[in-house]
Amino acid sequence: QVQLVESGGGLVQAGGSLPLSCTASTNIFGFATAGWYRQAPGKERKLVASISPYTSAANYGDSVKGRFTISRDNVKKMVYLQMTSLKPEDTAVYYCNLVSNVGGRKDYWGQGTQVTVSS
C-alpha cells in the first residue's frame, strides 16, 4: 500500500518562505513522477509542480514559476517543495502526489497540509 505523508505546512506572512516535504512508503517511488498540487476553498485542485523520477526534470504551474522549487531524494523516498515570496493567493491545502505508470496510470495522494499566507 502506498502512503504519502506531508509535513511543513503552517502560517506565514506574505513575502515569507515555507518548505514542505513528503515522505513516501513505497518501492515505486524511484520510478514515479512526484508532485505537489494545491486546492483553495471552492476551487479545483491544481498542479503546483512535478518532478520526473530519473532526470529530476521539473515542471511548474505558471503562478509559482520563479518562486517555488521542487526537488526529490530517491534514496530517502522524499519530495520537497521550497516556497518563497509567498502571496496570500498561495493559501491552500497542499497535496503530495505520486504517479505510477506501471500497468497503467495510477495516482496516489497524501492527506494534505494547510498553508496559509497572511497579508
In this structure, the number of other CB atoms found within 10 A of the CB of residue 79 comes to 30
In terms of Cα–Cα distance, which of 99, 119, 98, 110 is closest to 9? Answer: 110
Residue 103 has pLDDT above 90, yes or no: no
| Residue-averaged pLDDT of the chain | 96
pLDDT, position 8: 95
**Dist. CA 88–CA 99, nearest whole Å:** 29
Largest CA distance in the chain: 46
In this structure, the number of other CB atoms found within 10 A of the CB of residue 51 comes to 21
Separate counts of helices (H) and strands (E) for the chain = 0, 11
Q: What is the DSSP letter of 75?
A: T
Residue 102 has pLDDT above 90, yes or no: no
Which pLDDT band holds residue 4 (cuts at 50, 70, 90)?
A: very high
**For residue 42, what are the CA distances in angstroms to 11, 37, 58, 93, 97?**
20, 15, 28, 12, 20
pLDDT, position 98: 97
The whole-number average pLDDT for the span 40-49 is 96
